[in-house]
Each structure stands twice: as C-alpha cells, then as structure tokens.
Structure 1
C-alpha cells in the first residue's frame, strides 16, 4: 500500500482495476476493491497495514464492472463493511435491469456479476465519511460515481488521465456519450490537485 498524498493510499494487490483507500478520522474507506480473484490478496494487504490506517468500515464501488466491484462480496463478508454504489448500477449488478448497451450485455454474459449481500444505494451527492463525498458521474455506466477528498478525485472509469489531460474510454465501453462528456467537464471543473483513475497512473491535470 503506497501513500499518494496525505491519508490517500493506492493498493498494491487489487486485481483488475486500481483500488484506493482514504484514511479518515477513526475509519477508512476502500474504493474499488477489484476482481473477485484478488479478494484474498486485498484482505491480506489491509491486514498488513492495520497499524498505520484506521479500520476499514466502508467500500465504495464507482460502478458495476467486475474489475472494480467483484471483490466486494468477499470483503463485506470478511470485514462487515458497508458497501456503497450508485442506484442505477446497483440495479444492474443485482440483475434487475439489463446493461444499457449491446456490448455491455455481451460483457455480462462473458463475465457474470455477483452483488454483495447488502448495498447502500447512492442517488445524488452523498457524504461517505466527513470530507469524502460521492457524486453521480454517469456515462461509462448509468450509475457511475466519482469521489472527492480534499482536492483528490477518484474517477473510476468515468475518464482516463493521459499526459495530464482527461480522455474518454473507447466508445463500446461508454453507455451514454453525452453524459460521459458532461462528467469529464464536471471533473475538470473541480480543479483537482490529483486524479486517481481506475486504470493508469494517478496524475495531476495540466492546463
């Protein structure tokens, strides 16, 4: 686990997408624990860091893709954490609503999704712990979230950051292009001092 800036860590053991941890006052929040296959490694990494971070009480999933959400059921069972997710994506993860595009429906068949036993749904800006807020950021998926923490933005797959610029994912991975572009504008408007993406290295935005 590597400290990126004060109280913000990048996990080393997540499989699939990058996972991050925010250490608040007396509790920690894990963002995107990755694929189910990496759950044991993530639990071991958290156990090894228990002396320098507060207890993990919450997991926030930026969206339903298995490379971000897959390990959440195992973490919830092992740690008793609250798992948070955007309402529209929670419905897709539970199988109540089909993914919105043909490509995403195919991806679901290839890599089935498994929801945690309990999900706390987010529909609008929500405080997870003091200082850490989740904001709706649709586009990549209908219920995608970003999180903000003292000038740091955790953007999941809402955007990638390349050479200090926010760029879009390939079109077949985007559920709503117009919403995705609006989300990129939202992230830029926050003027983050650090952007932590689901894929690629954390970086600063350049003018």
Structure 2
C-alpha cells in the first residue's frame, strides 16, 4: 500500500510494517508477522524492486509481531537487522515480562488472534544475529534513518525518524487502533511493560515535527506528530 512518495505499508490496521524506498535501495521498518513475506515481495514488485534491494531492517522493538520475516531476510538474503541493544535478547526470543491485566473486548481480541495465527504468529523465527543500535544514531541505510529511544513498551523500544519521507515510525510507543478493544485514534498501546515511562517517552518524538506517525497497529496518521502525541496524552488522562 503506497502511503506517499517513497513510503509504503504492508499488512493492515491490525499488524503493519513499512518500507522506505530511495534510489539507493529500500529500508524496512519492522517485519510484521512471518506470513507478511508474500506481501513484502508483492509490494516491492509493484514498484519494480525486489528483496535484493533491501539494505536493512530496523525493528522498533523485539516482540514477535514485529520480528516476523526479519530472520528470513537476514539468513537467506544477508540483510542486516538493527535493534536497540536493550531489546536484542527479546528479538532473539528471550523472556518478556508479564504485563498487568489488559482491557479487552471479545470481538477485537478474536480478530487480532485470528489474524496473527493466519499470518504465522504462532511460528515466529527469532533472530540469531542482530546489529545493536543506540538512541541518537543515524544509520547508513536508505533514507538515513535516525534512532530515537522510546523505552516503556519494552526497554529497547525505539522510534525511527526518516526525514526524507517526513515520517516517524513508532512501533508500539503508541497505537491508532487498540488491538484488544478495537478503539481507534492515537492512544497508549496494550502489552506495555512500563506504561508511565512509555507516556513520558512520547515527548521524544515531538521535535521531529514529522507529518506521518506510523504505528505497528492501527491506521497511518498524517496529521502531524504533535497532534498525535497530544491525542495520546488526552486519551490517557480520560482513562484515569
């Protein structure tokens, strides 16, 4: 799905991953679920590119619905996979803390579970090698992506700012569709390790002034990062 010049999404509002395309090649941000591989190949083909054009994958964090096809790209095509040092073990299948009880509604929960299973979420291939990154790094990849530390959802959660496409990719630092309740609009994401810390971390992306805010779950947001963060903060106040 083409969002803008040089900016594409695969997956849907339940689980999504993104492509930044430039003449130098393609940067993939998050790797969705294993079954998104076919959509990756098809999206690349639709713009005259192939898997061979992918220069790197950046994971916003190490959860299974973001790791998806990353190891396949690394193992079979030699594509490096970048993840924050504090989530490297998680991306390799390491332990994840149990979260507090989540709000949920049966319909959206079943939709999320069914889609995840259909797309191979129960058979995640964890990474065996990663390239560790830190807050403040600018990677030598198409679009010159910048790493912004966003601890809270997980210790090594990051946002990825790509000025070339005026977009900040936020993973689960926020969501625009709560996968367990179906509620739409910018809000805190479920399954967050440290909710208060995640809320504080949101301020780190405001200075990007990006037009696009692109979450791992939910519709793409094109009304600017300041409005998105304000909406999350407002939703959080309303919930308490």
TM-score band w.r.t. shorter chain: 0.7 to 0.9
Partner of 1:107: none
Q: 1:124-149 deviations in whole A, cap 9, x for unaligned?
A: 22222253112211111111111101
1:75-154 alignment, distance < 5 Å: 75-95=73-93, 98-102=95-99, 111=122, 114-128=125-139, 129=141, 131-150=144-163, 151-154=166-169
Partner of 2:187: 167
CA RMSD after TM alignment: 3.1
Structure-2 separation of matches of 1:55 and 1:193? 26
Partner of 2:8: 9
**Larger helix percent:** 2
The alpha-carbon deviation at position 83 of structure 1 amounts to 0.5
TM-score normalised by L of structure 1: 0.80
Identify if the C-alpha distance between structure 1 residues 15 and 65 changes in structure 2 by more than 3 Å, giving closer, same or farther.
farther
Structure-2 separation of matches of 1:160 and 1:145? 14
Bigger relative CO (Cα 8 Å, ≥ 6 apart):
2
What stretches of structure 2 of length at least 5 have no aligned partner?
102-120, 178-182, 231-240
Q: Is the 8 A contact 1:36 1:66 kept in 2?
A: no
Structure-2 separation of matches of 1:54 and 1:74? 13
Q: Is the 8 A contact 2:18 2:30 kept in 1?
A: yes
Structure-2 separation of matches of 1:15 and 1:88? 27
Paired residues, number: 197
Identify if the C-alpha distance between structure 1 residues 195 and 117 changes in structure 2 by more than 3 Å, giving closer, same or farther.
same
Structure-1 separation of matches of 2:75 and 2:66? 17
The alpha-carbon deviation at position 188 of structure 1 amounts to 2.9
Q: Is the 8 A contact 1:23 1:54 kept in 2?
A: no
TM-score normalised by L of structure 2: 0.70
Please, which of 49, 60, 63 is the counterpart of residue 61 of structure 2?
63
The alpha-carbon deviation at position 47 of structure 1 amounts to 4.2
Asked whether 1:176 is paired with 2:189, we answer: no
